[in-house]
Amino acid sequence: MKFIGHLDIMRYFQKVMRRADVDIRYSGGFSPHQIMSFAAPLGVGLLSNGEYLDIEVDSTGSSAEMVRRMNAAMSEGMEVVSFRRLDDSAKSAMSLVAAADYVLAFRPGKEPEDIEAFFRAMADFYAQPQIPVTKKTKSGEKEMDLKPLIYRLERVWAVPYGDGPEVPPAEAKTTISETAGTQTQEPESTDMRLQKPEAAVAQTQAQTDAAAETAESERTQTHGAMKQQKALRVVRSGAVTEPADAVWMQVCTGSTDNVKPELVMEALYDFMGRPLPPFTFQTEREEVYADAGREGSGEGRNLVPLEALGEDIEQTDHYQA
């Protein structure tokens, strides 16, 4: 399925609508077509769990009934998981897209020789105040700062769908601090250096002083990142066939600043001083978001999944054409 282009996907869903007897609305004119649009067309070769399709209908069954009918007409590899009603005044999903989540897993044989060094480099890369890149556009090339367009960049433990371990092995329990952009190691047990001196009654005075000095040094180096440390986050993804380390990112997406995962990875490998080998990563899009923050309000980003903008349909509805 991942090698099917966007236009073919559109034609596929047009057939699904007919086979599932969806009362979809058609445009007027001499060549009427189904009123249908995707929120963010997916590139060839990418997998996805979070695609959204807008349609207009003249009548509809309940959400549960429509999901059942469309999935009965689906081919293996695609599944409709939600059917929700939008308000008549709602904007199209395509115009609302503001961000997207991606999981990037190393293809077999493409893993770096030193996985820890790779993620340390990724932490240093993300900690930069600016990430200048040259982006190719339809009108040529333009210089841009990628940093404000990468909302989050993390190391995760990716687990395939179905049965399998849901926790990373002990040696993989590291993470990248979102605050300082540094990698921290989860301690195997409570670290006395992070407690008050009274808690270290079993230590000698010399050990206590040395521990305090070490802790202060580490706090200075990480700018408080130790307070942010946590176990490696686990995500389920079709990008892996067995549990493995992976890259998870949330980036700006939309018509104005559309950041592709490969652009981030190219910048990362350039930062490491080597080109990105072709076909290194299998990429899966996990979710697509709208920004519910009020423009000009100073509230900042408030990303919500596009699905949250609709509501379930409890019974059959008919609409005025």
pLDDT in tens, 109-137: 999 999 999 999 999 999 999 999 988 77
Residue with tokens 């997406």: 253
Give the distance, in angstroms, between the CA of residue 35 and the centroid of all CA atoms in the same chain: 28
Q: What is the C-alpha to C-alpha distance for residues 83 and 13, in angstroms, rounded to an integer?
A: 14
- pLDDT of 77 reads 84
3 state DSSP class of 152: strand
DSSP 282: E
- pLDDT of 37 reads 92
- Opening angle at CA 73, ends 7 and 69, nearest 5: 120
Query: Residue 289 pairs with which residues in a beta bridge?
Result: 99, 305
pLDDT of 194 above 80: no
Contact 310, 290 (CB under 8 A): no
pLDDT band of 295, cuts 50, 70, 90: low
Query: Residue 246 pairs with which residues in a beta bridge?
Result: 105, 156
Q: Is pLDDT larger for residue 81 or for residue 226?
A: 81
Q: To 10 degrees, the CA torsion angle through 31, 37, 38, 40?
A: 100
Residue with tokens 């399998």: 164
Across the range 261-273, mean pLDDT stands at 96
Across the range 191-201, mean pLDDT stands at 33
pLDDT of 205 above 90: no
Residue 103: phi and psi, rounded to 5, are -115, 130
Q: What is the C-alpha to C-alpha distance for residues 224 and 178, in angstroms, rounded to an integer?
A: 11
Tell me the helix, strand and coil percentages in the chain, rounded to 5: 30, 25, 45
Q: What is the C-alpha to C-alpha distance for residues 271 and 244, in angstroms, rounded to an integer?
A: 24
- Nearest-CA neighbor of 39 among 84, 100, 95, 99? 95
- pLDDT of 298 reads 52
| Residue type at 217 in one-letter notation | S
- pLDDT of 320 reads 44
Residue 264: phi and psi, rounded to 5, are -65, -45
- Nearest-CA neighbor of 276 among 152, 133, 150? 133
pLDDT of 35 above 90: yes
Contact 97, 290 (CB under 8 A): yes
* Token code pair at residue 40: 């963010």
Across the range 55-64, mean pLDDT stands at 93
Contact 71, 56 (CB under 8 A): no
Q: Is pLDDT larger for residue 195 or for residue 231?
A: 231
- pLDDT of 224 reads 36
DSSP 57: B
- Nearest-CA neighbor of 169 among 116, 219, 232? 232
Q: Is pLDDT larger for residue 61 or for residue 227?
A: 61
pLDDT of 206 above 60: no
- pLDDT of 183 reads 38
pLDDT tens-digit profile of 74-115?
988 889 999 999 988 888 888 999 999 999 999 999 999 999
Give the global pTM: 0.76
| Residue type at 236 in one-letter notation | R
- Nearest-CA neighbor of 93 among 104, 82, 107? 82
- pLDDT of 169 reads 57
- pLDDT of 213 reads 54
- pLDDT of 238 reads 86
Mean pLDDT of the chain: 79
- State percent of the chain over pLDDT 90: 52
pLDDT tens-digit profile of 138-174?
777 888 999 999 999 999 999 998 755 565 555 444 4
- State percent of the chain over pLDDT 70: 74
